[in-house]
Amino acid sequence: MKVKNQKIEDAVIECIMNECLAQKSKRGKIVGCSTGDIAEQFGIQRTNASSILNKLYTEGKILKIKGKPVLYLVDMDKKHEKKLLSEKYSFDMLAGNEGSLKKCIQQAKAAMLYPPHGLHSLILGPTGVGKTMFAELMHKFAIENGVFSYEAPFVSFNCADYCCNPQLLLSHLFGSKKGAFTGADKDRTGIVEKANGGILFLDEVHRLPPEGQEMLFYLIDKGMYTPLGEIDNKKNVDVLIICATTEDKDSALLSTFTRRIPMTIMIPSLRDRSLKERFELIRDFFRMESKKIGKEIVVTSDVIKSLLLYTCTGNIGQLKSDIQLGCANAFLKCISKGEKKIKVHSVDFSENIRKGMLNYKKYREQMDEIIKDDAILTFTAKGIETFIESGDYMLPNNFYEDIEKRIQELQSRGIEDKDINLIMTFDIENYFKKYIHKCNTNINKEELSKVVDNKIISLVEQYLEFASQKLKKIFSSKVFYGLCLHINASLRRIRSNKPIINYNLAEIIEKYPDEYAVALHFSGIIEKKENIHIPVDEVGFMAMFLSEDNMDEEKQGVKPVVIIAMHGKATASSMAEVVNKLVGGDNTFAYDMSLDKNTSTAYEELRDLIKENDKGAGIMLLVDMGSLGMFGEIISEETGIEIRVVDSVSTPMALECARKALAEGSIDVIYEVIKNRSPYIINYGTSMFQGFNPQKDNIIITVCTTGEGSAVKLKNMIEENVNIENTNVQIIPMSISDKKNLYRKISKLSKDKKIIAIVGTINPDIYGIPYISVAELFMDQNYNKIRELIGKIGCSDHCDQVMDDEELYDSIFDMIEKEIKSYDVETFKRLFKTFRSNIEKQLNCVLDRDTLVGLILHMSCALERIVRDGNTPPCESRDFFINKYPEAFGLIKNNLKEIEDYYKIKISQDEVCFILMIIKNE
């Protein structure tokens, strides 16, 4: 902030005055400004700032307080007050100040400005409408307009706090003499005296007993009151009274009392206020939360809509607390994932709030004026709010709107229709590509089903499977998600009788005849299923999805890059050199990880190499073993670069990968080809996941961190509770500590067996295989999910009751007590409770039900193993987890000490890492 020399002194005085006013408003006292504050504000040297401040002090224009640091402030005389109060802002920022609260604000201003010192007021309204805040704004307005001095107090008292003890209530209000009543062991100063010269706000005033109301209207009439226990000692005060109640004033208050309060202000309930005002309140509360936690908050349009439309019986107070709770839930997820932004979704709120969307149809017109379907709100740590495009966080909108906007733009420029058709023929492909590349492939089908009908999702899956067979090609996940969203939008558009025009139709039919034929076949299926006519223009758009890979990055010369990462001094470099020479290209790079290199350093070096060489079409990361393979997913999440990892790299594999990368533009095409030829990558094809097959061996896999403890216990539990004899079902325990190895084993099993479920303490996230958590297994006491999977549903004669957390907790320990005899389980239960409490506090997290149950089961089995023979299997990812979560590792190790001391055992670093894996759910 640069200021000319002749004006800088006045500017400094004004700056100090504004800061002092802000400090008074926020902190209730004035602190002042330091030399550093002024230097930073005006962009000048500290020595220059010091010279100016000392000059102003010498001239008597500012005050100086010695100390460290030296502080400067302004004498708040009337001259300065008038200057500072030239802008009135108390009610200006209030949501609804020009709407539902306009009359209330006018009444409040009149009450405060009425000569000589304002009118006593009564604020009416149900719980949570903001009566206390409104009273505070009345006080602020009075100060701004010179009715009160800056030091005038605002004293708030809730009469409901002591309603069961009238004597104590009146004592708090008016003060009391020692011995005035039982328990009055000393003189007490009442809040009436504390409010002298300002405002006394009495909330829930209907809880004031009749004698208290009588004492209050005497105070209003005479400006005097008598403390309890006093007879002749009447005290004079100058107090403006504002009362508030949720009750009907005529039935809840004495008429002699209400007659003495001339101004009655009725605050409307939230349901009586407009949706636009409610939207302002929602934005205000998100701003507050963003400032409070110091992080950017990103809010989806579905959240805003739910908050606008749900039944909020507790009014503004409940709305505020519901938003705080939603932000808290989102904050926990953000912290656990290490994300910088707080992304608030509908799932972070209660079912009652999410049901607000059921009212959307009724208020659609009003809602569309307030917030668009694809918009999201972002609040920064400074409270700044912006609307941004939804592509980064949500499913994209359909691209028809983009095309229509382009046509309208061309028409507004006076371009003729025939020329518009020509221009759109060239533009249509660009708009299509822009749309499909906005699709977020990180969403799952459950999230997708919130915006797309499950029938459409199923149809698209059939369509792509049919297209894959007919066209002999595979499709990226972007095509699947994009097509689901497009068909959903297309059907809405057709049903709304809106036109669909494809200016590129003739070229599509000529250029992609096979794709168009498949799309035409698919459109016939949709027409029968949905009883709707699909125009040929729309069939052309459907065909474009199938040709997406054909017109993708290869047109622009953008190709995927191959990076070989291996252990050893020059192992990867040698292989990359051979590959580049033989394929005649330069698209393969190497990373050599020396055996003595720190894991954290290796991660950073590989990440930097990937960032440096990515061309925008993705990275094929070929690794030999160990932590290098795990780096791919983490680097992808951190950088946003698409990375596909292939384990156990060989020279022939690298040659094939590099050759494909030079010819193909799609990383998914390359990955699919390599995947089908490598035994070290799971085949994600549908053949693995067709469920129970009585003609084939069926596998249920139980998993835990070691494969020896919880996984074996889970296997025994299922076999004891579900009769799997004569069902050709086999239960196999496995370790999840090395996911790559787990995937290889499952891939090998799936070649001639059916994997029908995975049960365990950590979800391995394998698409298409049902996962049942340990918590679900305990909640489902009759094991109905398992029975259903193997075709034995119906064996149970009764329905299970839903257990709460405590019942579930006890049920698990009861099972452990039956299974384990090598140590005192009841003591372990007590020690675990302490361990859990400490971990949640120190890691600032709340362990969800699945994590908690998995942790109990793992630690009980681990303790049995260690007590029995002192052994712990090696954790393949130990170094990786220690380097990734050093603080959490240390906290867990320290909190296990009580268990170590009691059972006289030593818990290894490997075991600490197993526990860390469960807590972090990795």
What is the DSSP track for 614-674? Answer: --SS-EEEEE-STHHHHHHHHHHHHH---EEEESS--HHHHHHHHHHHHH-S-HHHHHHHH
Tens digit of each residue's pLDDT (9 = 90 or more) over 41-69:
777 777 788 888 888 888 878 887 766 67
| The pLDDT value given to residue 483 | 82
**If pLDDT is split at 50, 70 and 90, which confidence band does 798 have?**
very low
pLDDT in the model for residue 421: 62
H or E element that contains 110: helix 102-113
Q: What is the pLDDT of residue 723?
A: 77
CATH of domain 400-551: 1.10.1790.10
The domain 686-789: what is its CATH number?
3.40.50
pLDDT at 603 over 70: yes
Whether residue 683 contacts residue 747, with contact meaning beta carbons closer than 8 Å, is answered with: yes
Q: What is the pLDDT of residue 579?
A: 82
Judge whether residue 272 has pLDDT over 60.
yes
pLDDT of residue 282: 93
Say whether pLDDT at 168 is over 60. Answer: yes
Rounded mean pLDDT, 143-160: 86
The CA-atom distances, in angstroms, between 711 and each of 269, 715, 717, 718, 762 are: 55, 6, 10, 11, 11
What per-residue confidence (pLDDT) applies to 27? 57
* Predicted confidence (pLDDT) per residue in 664-697, tens digit: 667 777 777 776 655 545 333 333 344 455 556 7
- Asked which of 204-213, 268-277, 330-339, 417-426 is least confident by mean pLDDT, the reply is 417-426
Is 554-677 CATH 3.40.50.510? yes
- Counting runs of H as helices and runs of E as strands, what totals does the chain give? 40, 22
Which CATH number is associated with domain 5-84? 1.10.10.10
Q: How far apart are CA 731 and CA 723, in angstroms?
A: 12
pLDDT, one tens digit per residue, over 246-263 is 998 888 888 888 888 889
pLDDT-based confidence at residue 123 (cuts at 50, 70, 90): very high
Residue 415: predicted pLDDT: 67
Cα 283 to Cα 570: distance, rounded to the nearest angstrom: 57
Q: Summarize the confidence of residues 514-539 as an average pLDDT.
A: 88
Q: 102-268: what fold? A: Rossmann fold (3.40.50)
For residues 562 and 620, what is the distance between their CA atoms, to the nearest angstrom?
Answer: 5
C-alpha span between 608 and 217 (Å, rounded):
76
Residues forming beta bridges with residue 123, ordered by sequence position: 244, 265
Question: Who has greater pLDDT, 72 or 2?
Answer: 72
Residues 363-394 have pLDDT tens digits of 888 887 888 766 778 887 555 455 543 333 33
Q: Residues 6 or more apart from 290 whose CB is under 8 A from it? A: 296, 297, 342, 379, 380, 381, 383
pLDDT tens-digit profile of 346-364?
888 988 898 888 787 788 8
Topology match between the domains 5-84 and 271-371: no
Q: Residue 6: pLDDT band by 50, 70, 90 thresholds?
A: very low
Task: Pick 383 or 473 by higher pLDDT.
Answer: 473
Tens digits of per-residue pLDDT, 720-741? 878 777 778 888 888 887 776 7
State yes or no: pLDDT of 563 exceeds 90.
yes
Average pLDDT value for residue range 627-634: 77
| Calpha distance 835→844 (Å, rounded) | 14
Q: Percent of the chain scored above 70 by pLDDT?
A: 80
Instruction: Report residue 266's pLDDT band, with 50, 70 and 90 as the boundaries.
Output: very high
- Write down the pLDDT at residue 331: 86
Residue 86 above 60 pLDDT? no
The residue with greater pLDDT, 240 or 210, is 240
Cα 448 from Cα 441, distance rounded (Å): 10
Q: Does CATH number 1.10.357 belong to domain 271-371?
A: no
* Residue 279: its H or E element: helix 275-293
Q: What percent of the chain clears pLDDT 90, i.e. is strictly above it?
A: 11
**Mean pLDDT score of the chain:** 78
C-alpha 145/C-alpha 240 separation (Å) is 15
- Closest C-alpha among 184, 211, 215 to residue 200: 215
* 491-504 residue pLDDT tens: 888 888 877 877 67
CA–CA dist 849, 758 (Å, integer): 18
pLDDT at site 589: 93
Domain boundaries defined on the chain: 5-84, 102-268, 271-371, 400-551, 554-677, 686-789, 805-920
Q: What is the pLDDT of residue 883?
A: 79
pLDDT in tens, 747-770: 667 666 778 888 887 877 665 578
